[in-house]
Structure 1
Amino acid sequence: MTPSASTGTPPGAVTIGRAIDGRPMSPIQYRVVALGCLIMLLDGLDIQAMALSVPSIAQQWELAPSTFGPALASALLGMLFSAALVAPMGDRVGRQPMLVAALTVVGLGSLATSYATTTVDLVVTRALTGVGLGMSIPNAVALVSEFVPARRKALCVTLVYSSVALGALTAGLTGPLVMRLLGWQGLFQLGGWLPLAIALLLLVCLPESPDYLLRAGRRATHLRKIVRQLGLEEHGLAANEAAGHRAAVRILFMPGLKGPTLILWALSLLTMFILYLMISWLPALLEVAGFSRADALRSSVIIQAGGILGGLALAMPADRGHIVPALLFAYGVAIAALLGFGIVPPDPLSWGALLFLTGIGTAGSQVAVTALAVMVYPPNIRATGLGWAVMTGRFGAVISAFAGSLLLRSPLSPGSALALLSIPLALCGVAILMLKSLKNQES
């Protein structure tokens, strides 16, 4: 096997990516996808846990819910900077150690949150949790994309990223019961021990990226074991074509990547702004609309169910090269649903249906945007590309934490406030049309 391909693929060698493309899925690949789903599940659990706990913490501490904007934003800021500055280290030190470290940080941060007694405590501990999540997401997606064949890449990445919505849905369904039994602190204690347990599982069960091992020339015994489990020939393999190890942001603006990079950033920022605003503030917003707390908590997680369905539905056209029209359709569905909030009187049944449709076009489309990023960037800069896409998305999420606080204090009705979110989704449609035009010019 060729230890490194940083200077190009040697004559007669086959890149690891092409070799994987020519083989059926093997048990080790299914294992990596399953572990990737488990990692991403934690992100959704954490996001929804904070949103669910805000009304209870506000009541216990005798504060207005809008006071918790900085605490919601601090986790997102931690994710933002970690995704951009720390996650790319996975391209240099390997995916597996980065993921183990990331989940350890997530677990410790969540456990520390359970002991918070002031809003300052929440800001600090949530920021620590965000740092761990920002490290994990790009590397989990990159690792899965490096293990699966091209014909299944969009589907597998979509399954992994859909686990964020599944985690939020799980937290929404079980969180109220946990808080009744253990208080809001119990929600974060559970959210702390679970990542620490999964970190131990990754140490034992998660293989390192074979492309990374080939490029780095490390752990030859481990590499041979992985190659055999993938059903590949042990000799004549090379790392995927690489642009070197200079995985800096400037690489994302090389010829052929600049336009797609800017469009991906815009899409990620806008969709994450909408999605996180709804996830973080929807329970409080629905209570203002007249929902009981139980109905508000139940209705707020319906958007995640729509996101799971939307993400899986978008994966099929994405694998067939039709991701642009699929995203346009998803955005259209969500825009129509959001405008419906300004027309339909608030009640759990009708607004629940609108939330489900909104999830298809927001959480579902965000999954598809991530799959699009995997197809745009080559393996050696994939964690960098995904990290910066996640960073720009988290920047939109940070803005949403403060925007939601302003909406709660504004004279707008909850229905009118939700209808306003159709504007950034319309801008997403414009960005997708620009991407389509760019692809037509290149072809």
Structure 2
Amino acid sequence: MNTRSVVNTGALATLSLCFAIALLEGLDLQSVGVAAPRMAREFGLSVTQMGLAFSAGTLGLLPGALFGGRLADRIGRKRVLAFSVVIFGLLSIATALVTSFDALVAVRVLTGFGLGGALPNLIALSSEAVSPRVRNTAVSVMYCGVPFGGVIASVIGIVSAGDLEWRHIFYVGGAGPLVFVPLLFAFLPESKAFSRATHGERGEPASLFRVLFSDGRALSTAQIWISYFCTLIVLYFLLNWLPSLMAARGLGRADVGIVQIFFNIGGGLGALFIGLLMDRLRGAVVVSGMYAGIIASLAALSTTPGFMALTASAFFAGMFVIGGQSVLYALSAAFYPTSMRGTGVGAAVAVGRMGSVVGPLAAGQLLAMGRSASVVIGASIPVTLIAAAAALMLIRRPRVND
């Protein structure tokens, strides 16, 4: 990346603040998974109820992403992002105050609305802060904050005292976003590309159907949606269930936390590394290797015995699954013009979040039926093949250059 051009366009401030918000989003997204074993003991939850608690937050992400992206194309990315951050900060703190399972589910749905509204704006701001030739790298720099936020969640889970102590992680996850809101208003520049694209416009913005399916975008939209949906089934299954599955494999709490940390470290490094490769090598080569890595790491995670082998498998699973999703986020931004990018990316994130609901719920059902951790992890492989096919077709489609 050309450092001088990044600084001159204000991209450094944009990417730094977007990374920080992504870090806090990743902390919140993985908080429930880290806290789940202790929450289950306090509330007496079954595995089916745990799956519902995991999916509750992602359920709120659907309307949040769609509404947040659409609104951003009307009033700007910065304001919608700040509003979304306030929502998920306050609701994360509210999670720590719940006293029943029903309240937990309700609060997590509302938290998801804020998280969903933030993500398409983080993607749009990051992609519009730089030239198209380094868009993959910019989005990857932002998105690597999500798995590193998961590292923080895992560390908090390890150091929290007591078998029933789980609320600290949500207090931290709620206070951080609220602290950053004034910084967003003070230092985050609005997207210059968005300001140019909307300068002097009159009338209503393009309809949702036109944004997604007109001017030759219908096939690209369908392929983005399929790849998002299937990849996020795998990602959110691992984000939410990995600690519980590793505990079922006989690991203690500290070892489970270490496995989760390495999963997220791998994800952060994978997001950066794969994003850089996408801007330097042929897309088909990178995407093929990425999905081959997902399949191989899932197979290893489902069959390898022992703490060290599981830790290594989790590291590579994080590298390829989280890194792969960061590439998909960058790709989606490249297929919609600036004036429609928030809507297009938001719709893709919303559809993908259906997969993030399906993944934890399906895993919970399989476990409730008595299936082993290895079977549950292995069931993700066919879904990965579908995602790979859609992504490989997508990268052959024409992209916008603004």
TM-score, normalised by the number of residues in structure 1? 0.84
Correspondent of 1:288 among 244, 248, 255:
248
Contact 1:310 1:364 in 2 (8 A): yes
Say if 1:314 and 1:365, in contact at 8 Å, map to a contact too: yes
Query: Could you tell me which of 394, 403, 409 is aligned with 2:368?
Result: 409
Number of matched pairs = 398
Instruction: Give the superposition deviation at 1:147.
Output: 1.8
- In terms of mean alpha carbon deviation, does 147-156 or 173-182 score higher? 173-182
CA contact (8 A) 1:91 1:381 kept: yes
1:195-210 pair list within 5 angstroms: 195-210=177-192
Report if the CA contact (8 A) 1:337-1:357 is conserved: yes
1:310, 1:360 within 8 Å by CA — same for their partners in 2?
A: yes
Q: Give the corresponding residue for 2:391.
A: 432
1:78 aligns with 2:60: yes
Query: Are 2:52 and 2:361, in contact at CA under 8 Å, matched by a contact in 1?
Result: yes
Conserved 8 A contact 1:94-1:208: yes
Could you tell me the percent identity over the aligned residues? Answer: 30
Distance in 2 of aligned mates of 1:155 and 1:244: 33
Equivalent position of 1:141 in the other structure: 123
The aligned runs of 1:305-316 (5 Å cut-off) are: 305-316=265-276
State the alpha-carbon separation in 2 of the partners of residues 179 and 388 from structure 1: 41
* Structural mapping, 1:226-241, within 5 Å: none
Give the distance between the partners of 2:161 and 2:90, measured in 1 at CA.
20
Name the aligned partner's letter for residue 152 of structure 1: V
4+ residue stretches of structure 1 with deviation over 4 A?
A: 20-24, 179-182, 240-244, 436-440
Structure 2 residue aligned with 1:14 = none
User: Match of 1:336, SS?
Assistant: helix
The change in CA–CA distance for 1:148 and 1:182 in structure 2 (over 3 A counts) is farther
Amino acid at match of 1:323: G
For the 8 Å contact 2:335–2:398, the answer to whether it is kept is: no
1:277 is aligned to 2:237: yes
Q: Does 1:68 align with 2:50?
A: yes
2:339 maps to what in 1?
380
RMSD: 2.6
Shift of 1:316: 2.1
Instruction: State the alpha-carbon separation in 1 of the partners of residues 82 and 23 from structure 2.
Output: 15
What amino acid is the match of 1:274? V
What SS does structure 2 have at the residue aligned with 1:398? helix
Assess if the C-alpha contact under 8 Å between 1:324 and 1:436 holds in 2: yes
SS of corresponding position for 2:62: helix
Deviations 1:74-114 (A, max 9, x none): 21111111111233101101111111111111111111111
Q: Distance in 2 between matches of 1:366 and 1:207?
A: 26
Cα distance, 1:391–1:193 mapped onto 2, change above 3 Å: same
Equivalent in 333, 341, 352 of residue 311 of structure 2: 352
Distance verdict in 2 for CA 1:247–1:154, change over 3 Å: farther
Secondary structure of residue in 1 paired with 2:20: helix
AA of the residue aligned to 1:207: P
Shift of 1:160: 0.5
**2:220 aligned residue:** 260
- Aligned-partner residue type, residue 88 of structure 2: V
Structure 2 counterpart of 1:390, which letter? V
1:247 is displaced (CA, Å) by 5.2
Native 8 Å contact 2:59 2:353 kept in 1: yes
2:391 maps to 1:391: no
How far apart, in 2, do the equivalents of 1:34 and 1:203 lie? Answer: 14
Give the equivalent residue in structure 1 for 2:102: 120
Q: Among 371, 382, 385, which residue is 1:423 paired with? A: 382
- Compute the displacement of 1:50 (Å): 0.8
1: distance between equivalents of 2:388 and 2:213? 23
CA positional deviation for 1:23: 4.6
SS in structure 2 at match of 1:184: coil
Work out the CA distance in 1 between the residues paired with 2:314 and 2:124.
30
CA positional deviation for 1:63: 2.8
Q: 1:439 to 1:381 in 2, by over 3 A?
A: closer
Does the Cα contact within 8 Å between 1:83 and 1:135 map onto a contact in 2? yes
Taking the aligned partners of 2:232 and 2:137, their CA distance within structure 1 comes to: 21
Q: Distance in 1 between matches of 2:89 and 2:300?
A: 39
Aligned pairs for 1:125-204 within 5 A = 125-178=107-160, 180=162, 183-204=165-186
Which moved further from structure 2: 285-294 or 129-138? 285-294
Gaps of 5+ in 2: none
Counterpart code for 1:275: L
What is the rounded CA distance, in whole Å, between the counterparts of 1:216 and 1:438 in structure 2?
Answer: 26
- Give the alignment of 1:366-377 within 5 angstroms: 366-377=325-336
Cα distance in 1 for residues equivalent to 2:100 and 2:6: 53
Task: Report what 1:9 is aligned to.
Answer: none
Q: Which residue of 2 aligns with 1:400?
A: 359
Q: Which amino acid aligns with 2:206?
A: R
Quick check: 1:242–1:378 contact (8 Å CA) kept in 2?
no
Cα separation, 2, equivalents of 1:251 and 1:99: 21
1:237 matched to which residue of 2?
Answer: none
Partner of 1:337: 297
Q: Give distance in 2, aligned partners of 1:120 and 1:192.
A: 20
| Conserved 8 A contact 1:338-1:422 | yes
Q: Partner letter of residue 109 of structure 2?
A: A
Q: Secondary structure at the match of 2:98?
A: coil
Q: Distance in 2 between matches of 1:321 and 1:194?
A: 37
In structure 2, relative to structure 1, the CA distance for the partners of 1:84 and 1:182 (3 Å cut) is same
- Asked if the contact 1:105/1:129 (under 8 Å) is kept, the reply is yes
Letter in structure 2 aligned against 1:317: L
